[in-house]
Amino acid sequence: MTPAVPGLTFHMEMGPMSECEKRLLFSSDEIARHVERLAREISEDYQDGDVVIVGILKGVFIFLADLVRQLTIPVEIDFVRLASYGSGTTSSGTVRLTHDVELNLAGRDILIVEDIVDSGITLTFLREHLLSRRPRSLRICALVDKGERRSVKVDLDYVGLHLDKGFVVGYGLDCKECYRYLPAIYELIL
Ligand code: 5GP
């Protein structure tokens, strides 16, 4: 028999929901409140800006989409793709740029938008890389600031949520490419 919603049947029978236990950490309402606050702060700070938002794929795609739709200032948007985690839950310690920004950044106000900061290695690498494009300014916005394993000091200008430790999924964040579609953020019980 053809299921009414084939994708749903797939997830129920053999999808990621059955792979790991998870615990709700941040509900979609709580996330939305913080995204709204961040959008307000950013819009106020960049009244006279020439802003290019640089999102870090893939994890940022839902956060960035929600954030930019609440900004009250014009922005341009570009993306980078960085590889540091592979398919595991701990950093490899090295970062590789696999897709670079295409917009011209010289003399402009860059706002890096990241899903979650852990060791700080990814953002430090990207910050240095983008500074070489000679922007007028560069700031960083992160949805989640996870403190436990910070090994490189990185100044975050806008932070949505704080987390001590744990590996989280949902709202764009994955574990081996699963869970990105979940509307809230969960801690995986590994
Ligand atoms: P960092 O270089 O700061 O150690 O790691 C940043 C990147 O690692 C994030 O962009 C994200 O891709 C990944 N990461 C770090 N912590 C988590 C986590 O708790 N969950 C998920 N899904 N990814 C994480």
Predicted confidence at residue 94, as pLDDT, reads 85
Q: CB atoms < 10 A from the CB of 110, how many?
A: 24
Q: 67 burial class (0-12, 13-18, 19+ CB within 10 angstroms)?
A: buried
How remote is the CA of residue 125 from the centroid of ligand 1, in Å? Answer: 14
pLDDT at 20: 82
Sign of the dihedral through C-alpha 29, 35, 37, 43: negative
Contacts of 18 (CB under 8 A, 6+ apart): none
The CA distance from 34 to 123, in Å, is: 21
pLDDT of residue 31: 98
pLDDT of residue 185: 98
Tokens of 106: 């010289």
What is the tens place of the pLDDT at every residue in 66-91? 999 999 999 999 999 998 755 456 66
User: What stretches in the chain show pLDDT beneath 70?
Assistant: 1-19, 85-92
Phi first, then psi: what are they for 181, rounded to 5°? -75, -10
| pLDDT given for residue 190 in this prediction | 78
- Choosing among 3.40.50.2020, 1.10.1740.10, 3.40.30.10, 1.20.1270.30, the CATH entry for 27-42+50-180 is 3.40.50.2020
169 lines ligand 1 (CB under 6 A): yes
Q: Find out whether the beta carbon of 112 lies less than 6 Å from any atom of ligand 1.
A: no
pLDDT computed for residue 12 by the predictor: 36
Q: Which of 66, 115, 118, 145 is catalytic?
A: 118
Please give the distance of CA 48 from its chain centroid, rounded to a whole number: 25
132 CB-near residues (< 8 Å, 6+ apart) = none
Q: Which atom of ligand 1 is nearest to the CA of 115?
A: 10
**pLDDT of the residue at 73:** 98
Residue 154 alpha carbon, nearest atom of ligand 1? 3
Domain ranges of the chain: 27-42+50-180
Residue 78: active-site member: no
CA–centroid distance, residue 169 to ligand 1 (Å)? 10
Q: In angstroms, rounded to a whole number, what is the distance separating the alpha carbons of residues 98 and 42?
A: 28
pLDDT of residue 7: 33
